[in-house]
Amino acid sequence: MLLSRKIIQAIMPTLFATLVLIAALLLPSLKVFGQQEYVSRYNTYAGYAFLDSPHVALFENGVHFQAGVNPKTWYALGFDYSISAGDLTLTPGLLTTALQQQLSQELPPGFSLSVGSHSRTQTFAAGPQFSYRHYSKVTLFLRPSIGAIYERATPHPSNAIAQLVVAQLAPSGYKTDSTAFYGFGGGADLLFSKHVALRMQADLVYDHLFSTLLKDGRLTTRFSIGPCFNFGKNILK
């Protein structure tokens, strides 16, 4: 039996925190001091991710993929992609001032407009990542988070008045938009062998999607956790 989206939203942050705690408990038992003897030329990653945009009360579950190459031990170049989906509720207070004024003239007195919407978000990024390899079983890293974000929003009006408003704002039944985002991120790889690691990472970015509809941009936090695979030539030799 499939879990509902609301149940998944409720348990995933707790699951993420639990995995981080388990990793923190395991870390002292690992032999972390000393030099890393193997630094791979290439690495790939795939894991669970969630995006949290508090300003619009949007929480999205999804997956996160990365692929990179290490020209040197202290930096990597790579590609980053994530796709996630979730639900939010649009209210007039989130809209531009011009749209708020327009709606105030069109809506019946005392009517409170609220439109549920489903969102699907994709992020694309490429660039450098800087690594700190002082520990034999842990690699720490930081990176600039600069890329593009694409979102498709599908409103689900629950009454006739909301249907009329949606017909004006999204005649096709959905809206799409893309824009640049910027921010920073970082995390850690816990190395269980020279080829397999557990990666935990987070990014904080800013964007302003649907700027013709929404008056404000938003900060979005992405958390991600999953296995990382290292392979290829040992660049220490």
Confidence label for 17 from pLDDT (cuts 50, 70 and 90)? low
Q: For 25-66, what is each residue's pLDDT tens digit?
A: 555 555 555 678 899 999 999 999 999 999 999 999 999 999
Beta-sheet pairing, 138-156 with 75-90: unpaired
* Region 165-175 average pLDDT: 91
Between CA 117 and CA 1 the distance in angstroms is 25
Which pTM was predicted?
Answer: 0.85
Residue-level pLDDT at 83? 98
Q: Please report the pLDDT score of residue 161 as a whole number.
A: 87
Asked if the model's pLDDT at residue 172 lies above 50, the reply is: yes
For the chain, what percent of residues have pLDDT higher than 70? Answer: 86
Domains in the chain (CATH in brackets) are 39-234 (2.40.160.20)
Which pair of structure tokens corresponds to residue 102? 């327009």
Query: Cβ distance 194 to 13 under 8 Å?
Result: no
Report pLDDT for 3.
46
**Each residue's pLDDT tens digit, 88-121:** 999 999 999 999 999 888 888 888 899 999 999 9
Distance CA 61, CA 59 (A): 7
Phi, psi of 208 (to 5 degrees): -135, 80
Strand 175-191 versus strand 196-207 pairing type? antiparallel
Handedness of CA 227, 232, 235, 237 (dihedral sign): positive
